[in-house]
Amino acid sequence: MPTQRQTADFPSVTNPMTPVRQRLVAEALRLEEDRLGRILDDPAADARAREAGGDFEQRVVRRAAETPAGRRFADTLEALIQVRFWLLLLAFGLALFAGLGAAAAVFGQDATVNIGWALAALLGLQLVMLLLWVVLTLYRPRGGGGALGRGALAAVHGLGRRLSRRPDAAVVLSASVAVLRRDGLGRWIASAITHGLWAVFCLGALVGSVFALSVRQYEFVWGTTLLTEESFVALVGLLGAPAQWLGWPVPDEHVVRASRMGLDGAVGRELWSGLLLVSLLFYGLLPRTLLAGLSLLLVRRAARRLRLDTSLPGYARLSDRLCPRARSIGVIDPHPVEQHGPDKPPRGRPAQVTGAVLLIGLELERGSHDWPPRLAGVEWIPLGRADDRAQRRDVLSALRARTEPPGVVLVLCSLPRTPDRGAERFFASLREQTRAPVWAVLDEGQRLAAQGGARAARVRQWQKAGMRAGLDYVLEVELDNAAHPGTRELVELVGQGSSST
Amino acid sequence: MSDMLKVVVVGHTNTGKTSLLRTLSRDERFGEVSDEPATTRQVEGIQLLLSDGEPVMILLDTPGLEDPDGVLDALDQHGGTERFDGPERVRRFLESPVAGTHYEQEAKVLRQMLQGDAAIYVIDCREPVLGKYREELSILTYCAIPVLPVLNFVASASSREAEWREQLARLNLHAVVAFDTVVFDETGERRLYEKLRTLLDAFDRPLQRLIEDRQQQGEWLRRAAAEYLAELLIDTAGCLREIPADLEAAKMRETILRNQDAVRQREQRSVEALLRLFRFSSRHYEHQHLPLVNGSWGLDLFNPDALKHYGIRMGGGAAAGAAAGAALDAATLGVTLGLGTLTGTAIGALLGTSIPMRQRIWGRLHGFSEWRVSDETLRLLMLRQMALIRALLHRGHAAQAPLAGTEPADPRRSREPLPAPVREARLKPRWSRLNAEIFDPARGDRQVAVQRLTEEILVALANDEGRH
């Protein structure tokens, strides 16, 4: 545990690095962002929170600590804790004086002390309050517990707000209230303060009583109007039980009866004063000290377990900044050095073709019932479709098998396809098989457009691929649309009808 | 590192491998995406992380396969005789000279396949089931790791999902996932991981955790989006401006325009926050000239046409304003003005308990009128932002098209009353950030209202999901 400061209350909460304080700062930051209506942008803090790791809540806390506003809140919190420390010291001082005062009031100038009255003054109120605390803690676990302590807490915060001139104090205090309300932390802090104050009160009373009983001589008497003598005997027996159990002498029945008011003779001064002090010890100081210690343990436990309520508005929106879904691990196998040579210069529009027109279909959308396509004015000889390995082989061997060289080989391609090296290689093998010009005819552009594809860009991609493969011409057509300029051009170039006219 | 699940994303060129990685990693800046062949020429990796930062899975983006025909030839030529099994043949092919030259891209893919635990084969299912795809799949099976076909572009009208599923089944690939990288679908993502889980027994636990984590993150995302909208609605509903009643017409108009601007800016802030939340940069949108970024978002919030577009009938506000004799032109029909003017006696009741009586009387005595956002505008704001959130929930991080946010809303919903917390906020000017002087963020009842409204919005979003 680093730098534990000895404050009168819960040391684990005032420790600068405690989880509770970090969460207070996070909560304050959330409230501040809520007030501003936006997230405070601080990429550096986000990055540090991501680096620090941990679950979402821990990252939120870390981010808050790293932002300038968070640091400001931490300073404010520090200042407020200083204020609270002095206020608590004051409260404990007052409790001590109250105890001393109570003892002084009981053991006044009068040489005769009413035992019943003295016990009621020194123990009565705090026993009633203890009973109240027990009842509230047991039966109303959420709201109950240490009314005095809670009051003190509220007063401390109220005073803190006034005493601290920092503008952030209000936010930090609201955050503290919100955080302390969670998981019983505030309840146990309040209990610890309550019991602590009463313990100090009892200590004061004990010290005062010891002092008064040491330097002055008192006659102890008791009296009752309403009750019987037996009940007083029983009460004394009850109060003296712990002392008796420890072997301390306590007033026996005889002494009790002999001390009744009005009877002459002061008996058992030492016994009575012993009973008084032992009662203060056993019914005042000890239980309160034990309960204060227990409360402190519970405070520590609650502080250890404290987590932010990340379902509060404002936290969810941080999840994406603080918990990235993925992390790049970079390039594993790098980009190759470009090695293909310069593209061959594009050829211009070829001259009109004479001779047979061969047609090959490459990965077309059209079904087999639609093959070969018809185009008015053009007579072509279908060589087949080249969609898979076997078909490509067949097409290539059919081309090789032709004895007379054709006028042109048309490869009908589909624009929805992205040109790939497979297609390029097929073009290249066609070029190898024939001396006739090989053209790519790009069809089915409407379908690409229907998919939302960019037609002109795709045509350019095919032209590039065609050039790389050494094709002689690449043109776009719409075989279903005779009015399309590309279709008209194709008919003009290869159409048998056009050559005759 | 070596025992982490490694999945290689493969596919023909230009089918959306990098897009899949972008969408799964929610990172629209990963790699390079374009409608061109061979955009990705390198192998690049990404680790999928859990919320606590623990990496669970490596995804590798690979260059596209382009020439399966040639690779099969090369495998026949260099892969040795039939005695060797698939991986051995692939290894022999990789050692051959063509693997470094002509089939360099394919070799990169196969090299990763040999080291990976599984492969995701991305399919552009707008394409017919061509021979080359079947050939690619048969090459991939040589690598002897599970292959999960993922059908991309299933949301497209020309999708051939059924045809693909049938053909894949013939190739003995029965685990198939439809996952559109552009039209994101949380359940699709979940199915993808679940299918991987069934294929990869050894990685059952990390995949399970990934699925749970993604679900959790999805919930956070929806909650955060709903919170932004709730805040926006509460702020706008409570907005209240005092305008001196005796202002001359031009000045009055100017003041109203200024107020409208304040509301628009508030909406704009919310839109920016939402974009940021869903990790869509406005950088991308500026380039696309999305009107969002420039202040007015498509249809103008106060434009009566915008109200009509969303099927909102003009309510009594405008009529009441006209009855009060307030000089308003068409541009201000969207707002209820003139309530509580010194002369507008009849309508004072409409104001209800918007501000403390004392203040109202004081305002009246000093000749102030109050400007508030009308119910119609609020409803429009809500519908529009809901549409935006829905669009963002279903936008993949590979999407390139500009964000279209103005789908006409369900006409039935536009007649429903405003949610209760919004109606309450109408009466609580202190809840609104737009009323800077009296805004009180510490009010617990505001927080409760925001939380309640957030829940209502989440329910509405969940109902939408259910309908689709």
Looking at residue A334, its amino acid is P
pLDDT (0 to 100) of residue A465 = 85
pLDDT (0 to 100) of residue A39 = 80
Which of A150-164, A296-310, A338-352 is predicted most confidently? A296-310
Contact state of B52 with A336 under an 8 Å Cβ cutoff: no
Contact state of A422 with B53 under an 8 Å Cβ cutoff: no
Among candidates A319, A327, A425 on the partner chain, residue whose Cβ is nearest the Cβ of B55? A327
- Residue B281 vs residue A9, higher pLDDT: B281
Best CA proximity match to A323, nearest among A62, A22, A65: A62
pLDDT (0 to 100) of residue A293 = 94
Question: By the CB < 8 Å criterion, does B131 face chain A?
Answer: yes
pLDDT band at residue A395, thresholds of 50, 70 and 90? confident
pLDDT (0 to 100) of residue B242 = 72
> Average pLDDT of A6-33?
67
- Residue A63 vs residue A336, higher pLDDT: A63
pLDDT band at residue A201, thresholds of 50, 70 and 90? very high
pLDDT (0 to 100) of residue A347 = 64
Contact state of A317 with B49 under an 8 Å Cβ cutoff: no
pLDDT (0 to 100) of residue A292 = 93
pLDDT (0 to 100) of residue A204 = 93
pLDDT band at residue B441, thresholds of 50, 70 and 90? low
pLDDT (0 to 100) of residue B216 = 85
Least-confidence region, from A323-332, A378-387, B433-442: B433-442
Among candidates B53, B105, B217 on the partner chain, residue whose Cβ is nearest the Cβ of A319? B217
Per-position DSSP letters for A468-494, written without gaps between them: HTT-SEEEE--TT-TTSHHHHHHHHHH
pLDDT score of B168 more than 80? yes
Q: What is the pLDDT of residues B316-337, one digit of tens each?
A: 343 333 333 332 322 233 333 3
pLDDT (0 to 100) of residue A159 = 66
B 22-41 residues inside an 8 A Cβ radius of A? 24-27, 30, 35-38, 41
Contact state of B227 with A392 under an 8 Å Cβ cutoff: no
> Average pLDDT of B416-420?
82
pLDDT (0 to 100) of residue B132 = 86
pLDDT (0 to 100) of residue A4 = 38
Contact state of B47 with A450 under an 8 Å Cβ cutoff: no
Looking at residue B323, its amino acid is A
- Residue B160 vs residue A229, higher pLDDT: B160
pLDDT score of B219 more than 50? yes
pLDDT band at residue B65, thresholds of 50, 70 and 90? confident
pLDDT (0 to 100) of residue B9 = 92
pLDDT (0 to 100) of residue A171 = 80
Contact state of B53 with A53 under an 8 Å Cβ cutoff: yes
pLDDT score of B297 more than 50? no
Torsion of CA A472, A474, A477, A479, to 10 degrees: 50
> Average pLDDT of A262-285?
79
pLDDT (0 to 100) of residue B287 = 30
> Average pLDDT of B174-188?
82
Contact state of A34 with B130 under an 8 Å Cβ cutoff: no
Cβ B347 vs Cβ B340: under 8 Å:
yes
Largest Cα–Cα distance of chain B, in whole Å? 102
- Residue A235 vs residue A196, higher pLDDT: A196
Q: What is the pLDDT of residues B205-214, one digit of tens each?
A: 999 999 998 8
Instruction: Pick the residue of A332, A458, A459 with the most B CBs within 10 A to test the interface with B by mutation.
Output: A332
B 87-116 residues inside an 8 A Cβ radius of A? 101, 104-105, 108, 111-112
pLDDT (0 to 100) of residue B80 = 67
Alpha-carbon distance A51 to nearest alpha carbon in chain B (angstroms): 9
pLDDT score of A244 more than 90? no
Instruction: Pick the residue of B22, B48, B52, B57 with the most A CBs within 10 A to test the interface with A by mutation.
Output: B52
* Contacts B128 to A, Cβ<8 Å: 363, 365
* Contacts B2 to A, Cβ<8 Å: none
> Average pLDDT of A355-376?
83
pLDDT score of B348 more than 90? no
> Average pLDDT of A76-99?
89
pLDDT band at residue A271, thresholds of 50, 70 and 90? confident
Distance CA A376, CA A354 (A): 17
pLDDT (0 to 100) of residue B457 = 92
* Contacts A326 to B, Cβ<8 Å: 24-27, 30, 46-49
Alpha-carbon distance A59 to nearest alpha carbon in chain B (angstroms): 9
Contact state of A56 with B51 under an 8 Å Cβ cutoff: yes
On the CB side of A380, how many CA atoms lie within 13 Å of its CA?
Answer: 26
> Average pLDDT of B156-178?
86
The token pair at B332 is 């201000």
* Contacts B55 to A, Cβ<8 Å: 327
> Average pLDDT of B229-250?
80
Name the percent of chain A lying above pLDDT 70: 85
pLDDT (0 to 100) of residue A340 = 55
* Contacts A422 to B, Cβ<8 Å: 66-70, 132
Contact state of A316 with B220 under an 8 Å Cβ cutoff: yes
pLDDT (0 to 100) of residue B289 = 28
Contact state of B69 with A425 under an 8 Å Cβ cutoff: yes
H/E segment holding residue A115:
helix A115-119
pLDDT band at residue A160, thresholds of 50, 70 and 90? low
Least-confidence region, from A117-126, A435-444, B178-187, B395-404: B395-404
Phi, psi of A434 (to 5 degrees): -140, 155
pLDDT (0 to 100) of residue B319 = 36
Strand partners, B8: B60, B119
The nearest alpha carbon in chain A to B157 belongs to: A451
Cβ A77 vs Cβ A15: under 8 Å:
no
Whether the predicted interface score ipTM is above 0.90? no
Phi, psi of A293 (to 5 degrees): -65, -45
Cis preceding-peptide flag for A372 (omega within 30 of 0): yes
Contact state of B53 with A54 under an 8 Å Cβ cutoff: yes
Contact state of B231 with A333 under an 8 Å Cβ cutoff: no
> With helix as H, strand as E and coil as C, how does chain B read?
CCCCEEEEEEEECCCCHHHHHHHHHCCCCCCCCCCCCCCCCCEEEEEEECCCCCEEEEEEECCCECCHHHHHHHHHHHCCCCCCCHHHHHHHHHHCHHHHCCCHHHHHHHHHHHHCCEEEEEEECCCCCCHHHHHHHHHHHHCCCCEEEEEECCCCCCCCHHHHHHHHHHCCCCCCEECCCCECCHHHHHHHHHHHHHHCHHHHHHHHHHHHHHHHHHHHHHHHHHHHHHHHHHHHHCCEEEEECCCCHHHHHHHHHHHHHHHHHHHHHHHHHHHHHCCCCHHHHHHCCCHHHHCCCCCCCCCHHHHHHCCCCCCHHHHHHHHCCCCCCHHHCCEEEEECCCCCCHHHHHHCCCCCHHHHHHHHHCCEEEEEECHHHHHHHHHHHHHHHHHHHCECCCCCCCCCCCCCCCCCHHHCCCCHHHHHHHCCHHHCCCCCCCCCCCCHHHHHHHHHHHHHHHHHHHHHHHHC
Cβ A436 vs Cβ A408: under 8 Å:
yes
Contact state of B273 with A317 under an 8 Å Cβ cutoff: yes
Contact state of A37 with B269 under an 8 Å Cβ cutoff: yes
Contact state of B70 with A317 under an 8 Å Cβ cutoff: no
The token pair at B90 is 């692939």
How many pairs of residues across A and B have Cβ atoms under 8 Å apart? 181
pLDDT score of A321 more than 60? yes
pLDDT score of A101 more than 70? yes
Q: What is the pLDDT of residues A47-87, one digit of tens each?
A: 888 888 788 888 899 999 889 989 889 888 888 888 888 88
pLDDT (0 to 100) of residue B161 = 87
- Residue A463 vs residue A154, higher pLDDT: A463
pLDDT score of B281 more than 80? no
pLDDT score of B419 more than 80? yes
Alpha-carbon distance A434 to nearest alpha carbon in chain B (angstroms): 21
Cβ A378 vs Cβ A429: under 8 Å:
no
pLDDT band at residue A310, thresholds of 50, 70 and 90? confident
pLDDT (0 to 100) of residue A222 = 80
B 54-73 residues inside an 8 A Cβ radius of A? 55, 58, 60, 64, 66-70, 72
> Average pLDDT of B54-60?
89
pLDDT (0 to 100) of residue B226 = 92
Contact state of B273 with A39 under an 8 Å Cβ cutoff: yes
pLDDT (0 to 100) of residue B468 = 55
Using CA of residue B10, residue B15, residue B19, residue B24, what is the dihedral sign?
negative
Contact state of A425 with B43 under an 8 Å Cβ cutoff: no
DSSP state of A316: G
* Contacts B27 to A, Cβ<8 Å: 325-326, 328
